[in-house]
Structure 1
């Protein structure tokens, strides 16, 4: 069962690459702030690299103007997420979060089985808007689609 609007973000640990791999908790990321988290099935994959992440990079100033932090998550390791961020020229304040074992995606109830594509367990494509750790809006894509979780669609909805 996936997380619902009005529920608290579950506790989980994610990784980021700074001066080595650092752990960050969901409480550190979400408590006391407004956050738009979008999740992609895989770094360097076509829709993720050509549409999803670039859309948020392009619209980052519009989220900032609303005092909303933006973070991208994928079931990849922190090194892959850092390399992807570098290749996409992602600004440092757009957090690139590694959910290497899909633990956070599982806690949210938003995983999918991509073994048919050689990718194993992955996060569904989604965007989640939270205030002070509570989900206010949730945009989960149907399999193979990219509509409701785009930066443009989310900005229009929130």
Structure 2
């Protein structure tokens, strides 16, 4: 079942790309006591993700912070090394935390798996954005395959 407003963020272990290398992150700790915008993409370095999705959140970082967001995080079913390289390539600096859900366990727990096995890409994350306050979802928007409207930074800003 897909995560919805009112749900608690599932507890899972994922990896964060850091300057020192991959670091394990407990999602319960990541979301505790904060307002977090989490957006998920089908893959690092993919066309829409690199040209629009991630850059939009970097560009609107200050506006999101002004609306009370404590943390902006990007997640994909990639490894932490790929997420770190993508973040560096995109110049995210400390504006967006790059999270890796390499085995898709967290993605599965949220009900957001996108099966692209037939296209040679395996299990991926659906394109989505959510807002959680102290670990409880207050807004969630999941894109239809191929779409990019409801999960972009401007749509999240409008929802806050």
TM-score class normalised by the smaller sequence: over 0.9
**Does 2:59 align with 1:63?**
no
Q: Verify the 8 A CA contact 2:131 2:140 in the aligned structure 1.
A: yes
Displacement over 3 Å in runs of 4+: none
User: Which consecutive residues of structure 1, in runs of 5 or more, have no partner in the other structure?
Assistant: none
Q: Verify the 8 A CA contact 2:43 2:49 in the aligned structure 1.
A: yes
What is the CA-CA distance between 1:115 and the residue it aligns to? 1.2
Question: With structure 1 as the length reference, what TM-score do the two structures score?
Answer: 0.97
Q: How many residues align?
A: 158
Aligned to 1:13: 13
**Does 2:110 align with 1:108?**
yes
Aligned to 2:122: 120
Question: With structure 2 as the length reference, what TM-score do the two structures score?
Answer: 0.96
What is the CA-CA distance between 1:27 and the residue it aligns to? 1.2
Matches of 1:57 and 1:70, distance apart in 2: 9
Matches of 1:152 and 1:94, distance apart in 2: 15
**Does 2:150 align with 1:140?**
no
State the superposition RMSD in angstroms.
0.9
